[in-house]
A = this chain, B = another copy of it.
Amino acid sequence: MGSLNTQEPETGFPTSIKPFEPEEFRRHAHLVIDFIVDYYKNIENYPVRSQVEPGYLWKRVPDSAPNGPEPMEDILRDVRNDIVPGLTHWQSPNFFGYFPSNMSTAGFLGEMLCTAFNTPGFNWITSPASTELENIVMDWIGKMLQLPHEFLFSGGGGGVIQGTTCEAILCTVVAARDRMLQKIGLENITKLVVYASDQTHSAFQKASQIAGIRRENFRAVGTTARNAFSMTPDGLRAAIEADVKAGLVPLFLSPTVGTTSSTAVDPLGPLCDVAKEYGMWVHVDAAYAGSACICPEFRHFLDGVEKTDSFSFNPHKWFFTTMDSCCLWVKDPGSLNDALSTNPEYLKNKASELKCVVDYKDWQICLNRRFRSLKLWLVLRTYGVANMQNFLRRHVGMAKEFECFVRKDTRFEVVVPRNFSTIVFRVSPVGTYPDSTRVFGDQGANELTAKLLESVNESGKVFMTHAVVGGVYVIRVAVGATLTEDRHVNLAWDVVQEHASQMLLTLT
Contacts and interface: CB of A to CB of B under 8 A. Distances in A.
Tell me the number of copies of this protein: 2
A210 interface: yes
A439 interface: no
Contacts of A140: 64-65
Contacts of A465: 346
Contacts of A23: 37
Given A65-B140, A467-B345, A467-B346, A115 B111 contact: yes
A54 to B, nearest CB: 5
Contact of A164 (B89, B143, B368): B368
A29 B128 contact: no
B387 A3 contact: yes
Nearest to A383: B69
A235 interface: no
By DSSP majority rule, is chain A's interface helix, strand, loop, or mixed?
Answer: helix
A290 to B, nearest CB: 15
A116 B108 contact: yes
B322 A19 contact: no
Interface in A450-493: 465-468, 476, 482-483, 485-486
B201 A64 contact: no
A149 interface: no
Interface in A170-214: 170, 174, 177, 186-187, 189-190, 201-203, 205-207, 209-214
Interface string A84-105: 1111111100000010011111
Interface string A360-392: 000001111110001000101111111101110
A241 interface: no
Interface size class of A (residues with CB under 8 A): 35 or more
A72 interface: yes
B486 A126 contact: no
A507 interface: no
Interface in A40-61: 40-41, 49-50, 52, 54-58, 61
A70 B129 CA distance: 20
A295 to B, nearest CB: 8
Contacts of A202: 342-344, 347, 367
A304 to B, nearest CB: 24
Contacts of A449: none
Contact of A58 (B21, B132, B394): B132
Contact of A120 (B22, B28, B323, B368): B323
A87 B119 contact: yes
A140 B87 CA distance: 21
Contacts of A209: 174, 339
Contacts of A356: 54-55
Given A8-B390, A260-B346, A385 B54 contact: no
A321 to B, nearest CB: 10
